[in-house]
Structure 1
Amino acid sequence: MPLVHIDLIEGRNEEQLKGLVADVTSAIVKNTGAPAEHVHIVLNEMKKSNYSVAGKLKSDEK
Structure 2
Amino acid sequence: MPLVEVTLAAGRSDDQIRTMIHEVHEAVLRTVNTQPEHIRVIVREVPRTHWATGDTTIAEMDRKKGSA
What is the TM-score normalised by the length of structure 2? Answer: 0.85
- Name stretches of at least 5 consecutive residues in structure 2 with no aligned partner: 64-68
Quote the offset at 1:50 in angstroms. Answer: 0.5
Mapped partners of 1:38, 1:44: distance in 2: 20
What is the TM-score of this pair, normalised by structure 1? 0.93
Q: Show structure 1 runs of 4+ deviating over 2 A.
A: none
Structure 1: 5+ residue stretches without partners: none
What residue in structure 2 maps to residue 6 of structure 1?
Answer: 6
Larger Rg belongs to: 2
Q: How many residues align?
A: 62
- CA RMSD in angstroms comes to 0.8
State percent identity of aligned pairs.
Answer: 21
